[in-house]
Amino acid sequence: MTRMVLVLRSLVFVLWMYGLMIAMGLAFLPVLAGPVRWVHALTLIWMKLVFWGLRVFCGVRLKVEGLEHIPKGGALFASKHQAMVDVLWPWLYCPFPALIFKKELGYLPVFGWYALKLQNVMVDRGGHARALRKMLRRCRQLIAQGRQIFIFPEGTRTRPGQHADYKPGVAALYLHLDTPCVPVALNSGLHWPAHGLVRTPGVITVRILPPIAPGLDRETFMQTLHERIERASDELLPE
């Protein structure tokens, strides 16, 4: 497949994904005044259409392994982050996720309106200790409601094979919530790069790993989490 064909197919997908977001988001604005479950249902429809377009237009399929490791009810997930797709798949495979985003995303038209209605956690990165305390309180509330909290401990998207340091927020959540932490490895950056247009045909694999039990000290937890996620993510890369 030539580079030009890949670019054209990827462009069609991008127009499909964002066009659907805008069209559906504006057409169904009244649901924002209703129960959050209405917005959740609408989000699931959009997600299914996005992954359909990814498969048909770009030849990229999604494979999720380790579904048996998803706890019932509230849980904390710590995921590798290489592409936008990493914030999409949880909506299809978890009962009701809540993702931790930087607060600036909440200001975006359409996306921000729905992200806030879905009670995702918006964090002020410049707020330091006060922002951390607010995040911890909000996540505890959501866990009590049975939500699955997703945090990306690298804090930004990385390239496949890149091993970045993990930010301390994930350890604060683990210690404060006193709940198991489910590590998530993936190779999404191989087929959906962090930056750029082209989506490369293939299989994006998300591997949900066995939970890390509560009770570890901060240093041991961070070392264990980093080792498990990075080792499993490397195993998903081509030899």
pLDDT at 125 over 80: no
221-232 mean pLDDT? 98
Phi (first) and psi of residue 119, to 5 degrees: 65, 35
| pLDDT above 80 (res 93) | yes
Quick one: pLDDT at residue 145?
Answer: 95
For residue 217, being part of any structural domain is answered with: yes
Residue 96: inside a domain, yes or no? yes
pLDDT value at residue 132: 86
Verdict on whether the full-model pTM lies above 0.75? yes
Question: What's the domain range around 194?
Answer: 60-235
Q: What is the pLDDT of residue 130?
A: 86
Residue 9 located in a structural domain: no
DSSP-assigned beta bridge partners for residue 63: 205
> Residue 169 domain-assigned?
yes
Domain count, the chain: 1
| Residue 129 domain-assigned (yes or no) | yes
**51 assigned to some structural domain:** no
DSSP the chain: --HHHHHHHHHHHHHHHHHHHHHHHHHTGGGGGS-HHHHHHHHHHHHHHHHHHHHHHH-EEEEEE-GGGSPSSSEEEEE---SGGGGTTHHHHSSSEEEEEEGGGGGSTTHHHHHHHTT-EEE-TT-HHHHHHHHHHHHHHHHHTT-EEEE-TTSS---TT--PPPPTHHHHHHHHHT--EEEEEE-GGGTS-SSSSPPPSEEEEEEEPPPBPTT--HHHHHHHHHHHHHHHHHHTS--
pLDDT in tens, 126-179: 777 888 899 999 999 999 999 999 999 999 999 999 999 999 999 999 999 989
Mean of the per-residue pLDDT values for the chain?
95
Q: Tell whether 45 is covered by a domain.
A: no
**CATH label of the domain that carries residue 181:** 3.40.1130.10
- Answer whether residue 53 shows pLDDT above 80: yes
Per-residue pLDDT, 124 = 85
- Give domain status of residue 167, yes or no: yes
**Beta-carbon contacts of residue 139 (< 8 Å; ≥ 6 apart):** 76, 98, 100, 121, 149, 173, 176, 177
**Rounded average pLDDT over 179-187:** 96
Position with higher pLDDT, 13 vs 132 = 13
With cut-offs at 50, 70 and 90, classify the pLDDT of residue 105: confident
